[in-house]
């Protein structure tokens, strides 16, 4: 599985690169803190595959990287995706390394 660091994600955003950001946490987690990505809870992802781009980089994240990593493995195995990246350490790493003002839970 391919991964992207919090610093690399921040650079992509800063350079206005064209990529899709998907948050696979639950709605109540998204309300606490989010990075502005599209919310597709982990339980819904495999039913909403059509929402995931195949022609640009897609960064998928959760709180720590475990759920997003698991769903990336499933998407690659079942649907042949090759453009998915897991945010290493999830939103916790982003808060720690990039924006300490973000709430953590």
Whether residue 11 lies in the annotated active site: no
Domain ranges of the chain: 2-97
Closest CA to 57 of 97, 8, 7, 92: 8
Strand ordering across the sheet containing 19-23: 2-4, 84-87, 57-61, 19-23, 38-39
Report pLDDT digits (tens) over 19-39: 999 999 999 999 999 999 999
Catalytic-labelled residue, pool 62, 84, 87, 92: 62
pLDDT at position 101 is: 97
| C-alpha to C-alpha distance for 2 and 87, rounded to whole angstroms | 9
CATH class of 2-97: alpha beta
pLDDT at position 93 is: 98
Cα 80–93–56 angle (5° rounding)? 30
């Amino acid at each position: 599985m391919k991964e992207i660091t919090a610093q690399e994600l921040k650079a992509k955003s800063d350079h206005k690169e064209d990529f899709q950001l998907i948050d696979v946490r639950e709605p109540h987690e998204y309300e606490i803190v989010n990075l502005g990505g599209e919310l597709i809870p982990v339980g819904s992802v495999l039913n909403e595959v059509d929402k995931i781009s195949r022609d640009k980089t897609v960064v998928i994240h959760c709180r720590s990287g475990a759920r997003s990593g698991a769903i990336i493995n499933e998407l690659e195995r079942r649907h042949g995706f090759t453009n998915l990246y897991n945010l290493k350490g999830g939103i916790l790493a982003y808060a720690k390394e990039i924006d300490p003002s973000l709430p953590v839970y």
